[in-house]
Amino acid sequence: MTYPAIEINHLRKGFGSGRKKNQALSNLSLSIQPGEVFGFLGPNGAGKSTTIKLLLHFLKPDHGSLHILGKAVGQEEFRHRIGYLSEFPVFYDHLTAGETLLLSGRLSGMTRQAIDQRIPMLLERMNLTEAADRRVGGFSKGMKQRLGMANALVHDPAVLIFDEPMSGLDPVGRHQIKGLIAELKQEGKTIFFSSHILSDIEALCDRIGIIHKGVLLYSGGLRDFLVAGVGLEESFVQIIEEADRASFA
């Protein structure tokens, strides 16, 4: 039996309590098939990172369920098949790039031999070979972002979850990450990523989800979403404005 790569059913999550409760996600359901590149869009504060943190079980849902490749998030072993890049990657400043990847590989249960084979390839792929022996504390934002990407790929996971993978990158870095996502798709990986960069979403995604104030406004094919005659930006702005008008009506 093949399972969806990612399945989210009737997810709800709020922060705070009582009258001050902020409903970050309301009844979110999404299904992403193996091999798909899925772009998750929404204005600031829409609930994208909250959804991703729930997928990683860094947060617990108030209601609903999440499955990764058929495994219930938080109840079964599911993490070893996921690679994750956080919105704000954090590392041990005193470790070098190579040591950082070694640590991640060991924590994922890889053998030293497998890690030693994989690290040079990942550093090369992320353009970090020359920085391999430098301490991460001295890395620029873009270098940390690229190291975060290498870190997500150490154990060669089937499902990749990236929270704004292009943020903070210069045009060359962004181009490289786009190329990498396209390569990962060719390898048959499933990629779920959030982004505000609509041209990247347009270039990479099979399907998209649009979330606003915790409510999913659209999920489906990218082409099907585009309003006739206008691009993704215009279509995106239109759906957000319509939702705002409806909530005030």
Ligand X SMILES: Nc1ncnc2c1ncn2[C@@H]1O[C@H](COP(=O)(O)OP(=O)(O)OP(=O)(O)O)[C@@H](O)[C@H]1O
Binding residues (CB under 6 A) for ligand X: these are: 15, 22, 24, 42, 44-50, 87
36 and 206 in contact (C-beta within 8 Å)? yes
Q: Measured at CB, which residue is nearest to Mg ion?
A: 49
> What pairs with residue 37 in β-bridges?
191
CB nearer to ligand X: pick between 50 and 235: 50
Partner from Mg ion, ligand X, none contacting 61, C-beta within 5 to 8 A by type? none
The Cα 161–Cα 146 span in angstroms is: 14
Tokens representing 142?
Answer: 């873009």
CB nearer to ligand X: pick between 24 and 154: 24
The Cα 165–Cα 213 span in angstroms is: 22
Number of residues engaging Mg ion in binding (CB under 5 A): 3
Q: From the CB of 208, what's the least distance to Mg ion, in Å?
A: 16
Q: What residues from 73 to 132 belong to the interface with Mg ion (CB under 5 A)?
A: 87
CB nearer to Mg ion: pick between 49 and 195: 49
Task: For residue 49, state whether it binds Mg ion (rule: CB under 5 A).
Answer: yes
Q: Which amino acid is at 101?
A: L
Partner from ligand X, Mg ion, none contacting 44, C-beta within 5 to 8 A by type? ligand X
The Cα 209–Cα 6 span in angstroms is: 13
Partner from ligand X, Mg ion, none contacting 89, C-beta within 5 to 8 A by type? none
SS3 category, 187: coil
Task: For residue 51, state whether it binds Mg ion (rule: CB under 5 A).
Answer: no
Task: For residue 50, state whether it binds Mg ion (rule: CB under 5 A).
Answer: no
* Buried/exposed 111-127: b ≥16 CB within 10 Å, e otherwise: eeeebeebbeebbebbe
Q: From the CB of 186, what's the least distance to ligand X, in Å?
A: 28
Q: From the CB of 10, what's the least distance to ligand X, in Å?
A: 18
Residue 216: CA count within 13 A, CB half-sphere: 18
Q: From the CB of 99, what's the least distance to ligand X, in Å?
A: 29
- Could you give the strand order of the β-sheet that contains 22-32, starting from the edge strand earlier in sequence? 22-32, 6-15, 63-68, 71-72
Q: From the CB of 44, what's the least distance to ligand X, in Å?
A: 3
